Amino acid sequence: MTTLVTGGAGYIGSITTRLLRSTGRSVVVLDSLENGHAAAVQDTPLVVGNIADTALVSKVCRDHDVDEVVHFAAYKAVGESMENPGKYFDNNVTGSQKLIDTISACGITRFVFSSTAAIYGTPESVPVVESSAVRCESVYAQTKLMIEHLLHWYGQTKGLRSVSLRYFNAAGASDDSTLGEDWRFSQNLMPHVMKAILGESAALSVFGNDYSTPDGTGVRDYIHVEDLATSHVAALDYLSNGGQTLICNVGTGHGTSVLEILHATERIVGKPVPHVFKPRRTGDPSECYAATILAAEKLGFTASRSLDDIISSAYAWHATHPNGHNTN
Ligand code: WQD
């Protein structure tokens, strides 16, 4: 039996793929390689194609005897989603629906979905619980919420059991520094901190230091990407043991500010992070970090790695992979 991982050539997908194989599972990756890298898949079978290609997905499920799916494949640039909503609704919603229809038709009933804490928008209070109001502030977040809703109804009508994991802020790189984020495309904080300290950019722009937080900078819940990968294995095990459809946060439960990240990086690396303070970024909440009790109770998942582990792994990866997985 085999796990199909869509988007397994990406940042979180590739690290999760390798962890799944270390548990003894057979894995096959489906990835369009639009944003992913074949090198990141290493020696896992890779099918290059689109999640909306019904004939291809059916063939992969048959040829590889797929019995469960982890679905990462999606566009995830919040800013781009506001400039090109059609691209995001077409791929993240229509594409995901076609994938889900196809795997259901193949008799597959276990599905783990990569959702996001962005669906909370600016949370009413922190830590954010799963029953908190959802208030999508971007097309990207809306597309993720729509698939959560679709999975609920496919559970009610087709017996598809799913776990939607609402990621907080994935950061860091694989423990052995061979898999990580491609900082050429990411707008996230950690890659930008590493660009600044490694001299790949003049300085980190700190977006806002006038928030109502202890040091005035934005607070988020940074979870090590290896811990995030572990939560997907826990979700698959939960479903294999008969677990019912579930939506849960995946974070550490701790909030960390931009300046705390910056100072920790300077302490670990031993040199300054050049930075300049800029106005707030539109749409950024001041604080967003997870309530983690549901993942602990239902999945038996608790993040184990520290902020220092996150920063050290990110630095080790970016210092040795300035062009991501492109060796040229
Ligand atoms: C974190 C903090 C910024 C960059 C986004 C998506 C979310 C998820 C994770 C996909 C904020 C500050 C950032 C920089 C900065 N992605 N910052 N300078 O916005 O919390 O979440 O990425 O699922 O869906 O919304 O992450 O890393 O962009 O920002 O000061 O160059 O760092 O203001 O306070 P965010 P982020």
For ligand 1, atom 13: residue with the closest CA: 189
Q: Which two tokens stand for residue 188?
A: 């996230």
CB contact at 8 A, 264 and 311: yes
pLDDT at 71: 99
Q: Confirm whether 315 is a catalytic residue.
A: no
Domain boundaries, given as residue ranges, for the chain: 2-171+222-250, 189-221+253-320
d(CA 265, CA 34): 31
d(CA 265, CA 284): 22
Work out which ligand 1 atom sits closest to the CA atom of 192. 31
d(CA 133, CA 297): 21
Q: What's the 249 CA to ligand 1 centre distance in angstroms? A: 17
For ligand 1, atom 19: residue with the closest CA: 284
Half-sphere exposure of 203 (CA within 13 A, CB side): 8
Q: Which two tokens stand for residue 107?
A: 């008799």
Q: What's the 200 CA to ligand 1 centre distance in angstroms? A: 19
Superfamily the domain 189-221+253-320 falls into? UDP-galactose 4-epimerase, domain 1 (3.90.25.10)
Work out which ligand 1 atom sits closest to the CA atom of 258. 32
Q: Which of 11, 88, 140, 315 is catalytic?
A: 140
Burial classification of residue 26, based on how many CB atoms lie within 10 Å of its CB (0-12 exposed, 13-18 middle, 19 or more buried): middle
pLDDT at 121: 96
pLDDT at 185: 81
Q: What is the DSSP string of 264-291?
A: HHHHHHSS---EEEEPPPTT--SEE-B-
Q: What's the 184 CA to ligand 1 centre distance in angstroms? A: 15
As for ligand 1, residues whose beta carbon falls within 6 Å of it are: 76, 78, 116, 118, 167, 169, 187-189, 192, 204-207, 218, 220, 258, 281, 284
CATH pick for 2-171+222-250 out of 3.90.1170.50, 3.40.50.720, 3.40.50.1820, 3.10.20.600 = 3.40.50.720
Work out which ligand 1 atom sits closest to the CA atom of 76. 10
Residue 79, classed as helix, strand or coil, is helix
Residues of the chain scoring pLDDT < 70:
327-328
